[in-house]
Structure 1
Amino acid sequence: MTFVTKLSFASGDRDVLTETVQELKRTLERKGAECKGPHAPPAETVRVPLYKNLRAGDEFPPWSYRVYKRTMEIHGADDAARDVVARDFPDSIHVEVEIDRKKPLGHRRE
C-alpha cells in the first residue's frame, strides 16, 4: 500500500509562505520523493467586525486581511514525508497534515 501525505499551508504573509513551500518542494525533489504541487487556490479575504461598544450597531469599519493557501501531496516516500511533518515551520504559517492510504489498482476488498 502506498501512503499519500497531503499538506495544507495557510498564512497572511504570502512571501514567507511561497518561499517556505518552494524550499520544501526542492528538498523533496532532492530526496527523490514524488511531489504534486504546490497548488495555489485564490486568496481568501477575511473580514472581522469591530464594535465600539458591546452592543451591535455602533461599529468601526471592519478589519480585513488576506489568507493565502498552498497544498501539496507527497506520494510514497514515507521517510521524506515524516521529515517534512517533523519540521519547524515559521510561526506565521498554519500547517495541516492528512495521511491517506491508497490501495493498488485491481486490489479487492476482503
Structure 2
Amino acid sequence: MTFVTKLTFQSGDRAVLEDTVGEIKGMLERKGVECKGPHSSSPEKLRVPLSRRLDAGETFDPWTYTVYTRRMEIHGAEHIAREVGHMDFPDSLHVEIEVGRKRPLGYRRN
C-alpha cells in the first residue's frame, strides 16, 4: 500500500503562501517525488465583529480579511513527506498534514 500525504496551506498573506508552496513543490520535483498540486481554492472572505465594550451595545465596523488556501498530495516517499512535516513554516501560514494509505486498484481484503 502506498502512503498519501495531504498538505493544506492557509494564509492571509498570499505572497508568503505562494513562496512557501512553490519552494516545497520545487523540492519535491528535484527529488523526483510524485506530487499532485498545488490546487487553489477560492479565496474566503471573513468578517469579525468588533464590540466597543464588553457588554452588548455599540460596535466598530467589522474586521474583514481574506484567507487563501492551497492543497497538495505527496504519493509514496514517506521520508520526504516526513521532511516536509518537520520544516519551519512562517508564523502567518497555517499547515495541516493528513496521512493515509491508498490501496492498489483491484485490492481485495480477505
TM-score for both structures, normalised by structure 2: 0.96
Give the corresponding residue for 1:102: 102
Map 1:1-110 to 2 at 5 A. 1-110=1-110
- The amino acid of 1:49's aligned partner reads P
Q: Secondary structure at the match of 1:15?
A: helix
- 5+ long unaligned stretches in structure 1: none
Distance 1:50 1:90 in 2: 27
- The amino acid of 2:85's aligned partner reads V
- The amino acid of 1:89's aligned partner reads F
Q: Deviations over 1:40-67 (max 9, x none)?
A: 1011111110011223341110001111
Q: Secondary structure at the match of 2:89?
A: coil
Shift of 1:24: 0.4
- Alignment RMSD: 0.9
Percent of matched pairs sharing the same residue: 63
Distance 1:107 1:57 in 2: 61
Q: Secondary structure at the match of 1:64?
A: strand
- 5+ long unaligned stretches in structure 2: none
Runs of 4+ with deviation above 4 angstroms: none
Aligned length in residues = 110
TM-score for both structures, normalised by structure 1: 0.96
Distance 1:106 1:50 in 2: 55
Name whichever of 53-62 and 42-51 sits farther off.
Answer: 53-62
